Amino acid sequence: MTPTIAAPPPAPGLSPARRYGLLIAVLALGASLLLVAPFALLSLRQEALSVQGGPALTVEIVADGMRYVPSEIRVPPGVNVRIDFVNRDPTSPHDLQTFGQRRDVRVIAWPGETRPTVFKSADRPGRYTFLCTVRGHAAAGHAGTIIVE
Ligand SMILES: [Cu+2]
């Protein structure tokens, strides 16, 4: 009365040689996944570490014509700072490029858009520039200052 499990009948049309080829293909696929997966996980982990614990603070910076509001932000050294970059200028795209930070960023927003980004502030206290790289904008005053305290 013990139930018996019948072995599945051999698949018709697959010769032993073809089955062997299929087995090799499956093993190769498995091996390549094993090789690639750790690198994919590593990059995911680095991504997670870069924003570990979330940003220390969030600031909103608005592009209002050829100026940033506010044009100065104060941040602690060596922390992740989230910028919500808002473009309130209906006539032009603007961006915001940081300089001299531990991890610089450039974020672009089209008219009406809000774009978040996270930069890592400099380790050394000081005054650092951020500006708009759209041609002619920085010269027209589209720039600001990150004060690392
Ligand atoms: Cu601009």
Encode pLDDT of 4-63 as tens digits.
555 555 555 556 666 666 555 655 655 554 555 544 444 444 444 455 568 989 999 999
Residue 1: alpha-carbon gap to chain centroid: 62
- Output b/e per residue, 62-78; b: 16+ Cβ within 10 A: bbebbbbeeeebebeee
CA 112 to ligand 1 center in whole angstroms: 13
Residue 4 included in any domain: no
The whole-angstrom separation of Cα 77 and Cα 141 is 26
Residue 134 burial by Cβ neighbours in a 10 Å radius (0-12, 13-18, 19+): middle
Domain residue limits at 42: 15-50
Is 0.75 topped by the overall pTM? no
Q: What is the pLDDT, as a whole number, of residue 39?
A: 46
Q: What is the pLDDT of residues 87-122, one digit of tens each?
A: 999 999 999 999 999 999 999 999 999 999 999 999
Residue 9, in any domain of the structure: no
Given this model, what pLDDT does residue 54 score?
A: 83
Residues with CB under 5 A from ligand 1 (ion): 94, 132, 134, 137, 142
Number of domains in the chain: 2
